[in-house]
A and B are shown apart, each in its own frame.
Chain A
Amino acid sequence: MADKLLEIKNLHVHYVTDGETVRAVNGIDLTIERGQTLGLVGETGAGKTTTALSILRMLPAYTAKIPQGEIYLDGNPILTMKEKELRKLRGSKASMVFQDPMTSLNPVYRVGDQIAEVIKLHEKKISRDELRERVGKILELVGIPAFRQYDYPHQFSGGMKQRVMIAIAIACRPELLIADEPTTALDVTIQAQVLEMMQDLKKELNSSILLITHDLGVVAAFCDYVAIMYAGEIVEYGTLEDIFDPTRRHHPYTTGLFGSIPNLTEKTDRLSPIAGLMPDPTDLPEGCKFHPRCPNCMDKCRTECPPVYHRGEHRIMCHMAADWGETTTVREEETK
């Protein structure tokens, strides 16, 4: 089980535009093991999508810079690979499901041809009939009748398009499936269907999933591990229980996130959202990046960036967790 499929080490991603540098991702460490699901949670602009795109090295070529960091996908150094080698991995080893199913399918090709396209890209020799059959099977896997492979994307509903997207993504049985807010554009009932289907697929294909979302409910239903992202940093990481158990210690941001969700058992008139806004990524605050919004802000927080404290697998990046004692970050482990 302890087989690391994806390893991200101290990744930094900056977007450089005219005179401004947007620091989107600031030194994150992540690992995903085979067969695991990791939920990456955070506000809009926390750097979730940037992280996901960098795993396949799909960041915009002219503005995104990666000054530091390493990414290994099943041992392959993604950031230093040749484009041609990388193309072989994309789609077969790791593939991605995008946020908006409405615009993610090519409108001028039949759905079946688009699924076949991926298979043809990665497996050169395959006969037409075999291809048709496989496309049909994949569609049925995601709950769409095989004969609908002859339809065009506009003939599908949003939820079905997202299923088709997933079908395309899994057509070559990738070991890692990156799902960037796969259910955001869907309504709740379809959301449940899509998630359930992804869960089944995960079991069937034994692949790992990186699920990017800002919906904690989805995370609770679906993930083994959770990483909470804020301003380009992972402020808290742990197993599902670590994060969702309110009696355990949390990063104040995580506490704030949970405070913003209505609770069935408590009667409140108002939710308690986190005060303030995400910091401007071109001008991040000194010290802890969360301190301007933190209810427990101390003097130390304003000047000193907290290290990552951890107990077992549970990691928190906050001065409040200092009594956990173990301050070794993954980075320091490296140098040992």
Chain B
Amino acid sequence: MSTATPKKAVRQNSQFREVTRRLFRNKKAIFAMIVISLLLFMVIFADLIVPYSKAIDLNIPNRLKDPGKDFWFGTDAQGRDLFARIIHGSRISLMMGIFATLIQATCGTILGTTAAYLGGKADNIIMRILDMWMAIPSLLITLAIIAGLGVGVPQMISAIGFGGIPCFARVLRAAALGVVSQEYIESARALGASGPRIIRKYVIPNIVSQILIQATVNISGTILLGATLSFLGLGAQPPTPEWGAILSQGLGDFQYHPHLVTIPGIFLAITALSINILGDALRDAFDPKLKGKA
């Protein structure tokens, strides 16, 4: 390496650059990212695309219209424009996925890395508690929390977030275990760094890729779980548009007006699918074994 290596050339070798480069080479990932960007666009500019009133105001004369020129996605039993409802429903569905995952990622990362770093008894205690937590089916734990906190979107987000912590913590503990046995952790201790500092500055930055992958894959699961809860009537309450709730409300007229179920269903499926594809692509992009190949 010549001594005159310009700084710019050096920067390009950073891990982040390398990962994005590999990510953009993956065609499936680009497709997924386009879909996700469109969804995000929908979430952010929902009010500009179609006013919120259209999604909730009753319009009985136009009830149960099939998809057509006036109503792109048709209307529901109350005559509300399904297109508007889907657009505004994306807000709750996606936000739910993102915020619940954020709760899971934050708590899971802290618990998992702490357990891995401390090891021994502390590790045992943290992980056994998480095991007990995990032994309860996540839908059940979510239902129990909603029963305690009441029905509503914020309650649902915290319930889903809380229920998913152990799974997250386990994956990240496994990842962190590989890091804490590295010599640079020992070296950091020898230089006088404290436990929390080592976790913050040495352990977490080294497992960021795993956190990111796990979080991405998790978002789709969370969106689906949120839709499930709304479908069961425990999440978003009518007339709030939410994909799961829209699907559930359309079920009564499914036989003659299948668009009420298929359209929100397709949106849910595409969202979950693209987020999963992006998660897989991220995993591939971060995997050093594929360096130069993928």
- Give A residues with C-beta under 8 Å from B: 56, 58, 61-62, 87-92, 95-96, 98-100, 103-109, 117-118, 121-122, 145, 147, 150-152, 155, 165, 168-169
Q: A104-B184, A155-B10 are in contact. Are A117 and B192 (CB under 8 A)?
A: no
A28, B121: Cα distance in complex, Å:
31
17 contacts across the A-B interface (CB closer than 8 A): A56-B189, A90-B191, A90-B192, A91-B191, A91-B192, A98-B187, A103-B182, A104-B184, A106-B188, A107-B206, A108-B15, A118-B191, A118-B192, A122-B192, A151-B10, A152-B13, A168-B187
With most chain A CB atoms within 10 A of its CB, the pick from B13, B121, B187, B201 is B187
Q: Is B183 part of the binding interface, using a Cβ–Cβ cutoff of 8 Å? A: yes
Do B191 and A121 touch across chains, with their CB atoms under 8 A apart? yes
> Chain B contacts of A105 at CB under 8 A?
184, 187
Do B187 and A165 touch across chains, with their CB atoms under 8 A apart? yes
Name the distance in Å between B170's Cβ and chain A's nearest Cβ.
21
> Chain A contacts of B205 at CB under 8 A?
106, 108-109
> Chain A contacts of B121 at CB under 8 A?
62
Do B187 and A104 touch across chains, with their CB atoms under 8 A apart? yes
Can you list, as one digit per residue, whether each of B1-14 has a CB less than 8 Å from chain A (1) or not (0)?
10100010010011
Do B1 and A96 touch across chains, with their CB atoms under 8 A apart? no
A62, B13: Cα distance in complex, Å:
40
Do B10 and A100 touch across chains, with their CB atoms under 8 A apart? no
Is the interface on chain B under 10, 10 to 19, 20 to 34, or 35 or more residues?
20 to 34
Which parts of B180-199 form the interface with A (CB within 8 Å)?
182-184, 186-194, 197
Do A168 and B191 touch across chains, with their CB atoms under 8 A apart? yes
Do A58 and B120 touch across chains, with their CB atoms under 8 A apart? no
A92, B193: Cα distance in complex, Å:
11
A106, B184: Cα distance in complex, Å:
6
Do A152 and B14 touch across chains, with their CB atoms under 8 A apart? yes
Name the distance in Å between B289's Cβ and chain A's nearest Cβ.
16
Name the distance in Å between B111's Cβ and chain A's nearest Cβ.
19
Q: Is B133 part of the binding interface, using a Cβ–Cβ cutoff of 8 Å? A: no
With most chain A CB atoms within 10 A of its CB, the pick from B15, B183, B190 is B190
Give the residue name and chain of the A residue nearest to B181 (CB): A103
> Chain A contacts of B208 at CB under 8 A?
108
Q: Is B99 part of the binding interface, using a Cβ–Cβ cutoff of 8 Å? A: no
Q: Is B258 part of the binding interface, using a Cβ–Cβ cutoff of 8 Å? A: no
A1, B13: Cα distance in complex, Å:
50
Do B193 and A117 touch across chains, with their CB atoms under 8 A apart? yes
Give the residue name and chain of the A residue nearest to B208 (CB): A108
In order of increasing CB-CB distance, the 10 nearest A-B pairs are A91-B192, A91-B191, A90-B192, A62-B120, A96-B190, A108-B205, A103-B183, A104-B183, A87-B192, A106-B184
A interface majority secondary structure: loop
Contact of A108 among B188, B189, B193, B206 (CB under 8 A): B206
Q: Is B119 part of the binding interface, using a Cβ–Cβ cutoff of 8 Å? A: yes
Q: A118-B191, A121-B192 are in contact. Are A98 and B206 (CB under 8 A)?
A: no
- Give B residues with C-beta under 8 Å from A: 1, 3, 7, 10, 13-15, 119-121, 182-184, 186-194, 197, 201-202, 205-206, 208
Do B192 and A92 touch across chains, with their CB atoms under 8 A apart? yes
A117, B191: Cα distance in complex, Å:
9
Give the residue name and chain of the A residue nearest to B190 (CB): A96
Name the distance in Å between B14's Cβ and chain A's nearest Cβ.
7
> Chain B contacts of A106 at CB under 8 A?
184, 188, 201-202, 205-206
A104, B182: Cα distance in complex, Å:
7
With most chain A CB atoms within 10 A of its CB, the pick from B15, B120, B188, B197 is B188
Do B184 and A103 touch across chains, with their CB atoms under 8 A apart? yes
> Chain B contacts of A108 at CB under 8 A?
15, 205-206, 208
A53, B162: Cα distance in complex, Å:
41
Do A90 and B189 touch across chains, with their CB atoms under 8 A apart? yes
Give the residue name and chain of the A residue nearest to B13 (CB): A155
Do A90 and B190 touch across chains, with their CB atoms under 8 A apart? yes
Name the distance in Å between A166's Cβ and chain B's nearest Cβ.
11
Q: A104-B183, A104-B184, A155-B13 are in contact. Are A56 and B190 (CB under 8 A)?
A: yes
> Chain B contacts of A118 at CB under 8 A?
191-192
Do A96 and B187 touch across chains, with their CB atoms under 8 A apart? yes
Do B189 and A58 touch across chains, with their CB atoms under 8 A apart? yes
A108, B182: Cα distance in complex, Å:
13
Do A147 and B7 touch across chains, with their CB atoms under 8 A apart? yes
Contact of A100 among B183, B188, B192 (CB under 8 A): B183
Name the distance in Å between A31's Cβ and chain B's nearest Cβ.
21
6 additional contacts (CB under 8 A) given A108-B206, A152-B13, A155-B10 = A56-B190, A91-B192, A100-B183, A147-B7, A168-B187, A168-B191
Name the distance in Å between B92's Cβ and chain A's nearest Cβ.
36
A251, B184: Cα distance in complex, Å:
37
A96, B189: Cα distance in complex, Å:
10
Q: A62-B120, A109-B205, A152-B14 are in contact. Are A95 and B190 (CB under 8 A)?
A: yes
> Chain A contacts of B206 at CB under 8 A?
106-108
A213, B192: Cα distance in complex, Å:
24
A107, B10: Cα distance in complex, Å:
15
> Chain B contacts of A147 at CB under 8 A?
7
Give the residue name and chain of the B residue nearest to A118 (CB): B191
Do B7 and A87 touch across chains, with their CB atoms under 8 A apart? no
A169, B188: Cα distance in complex, Å:
10
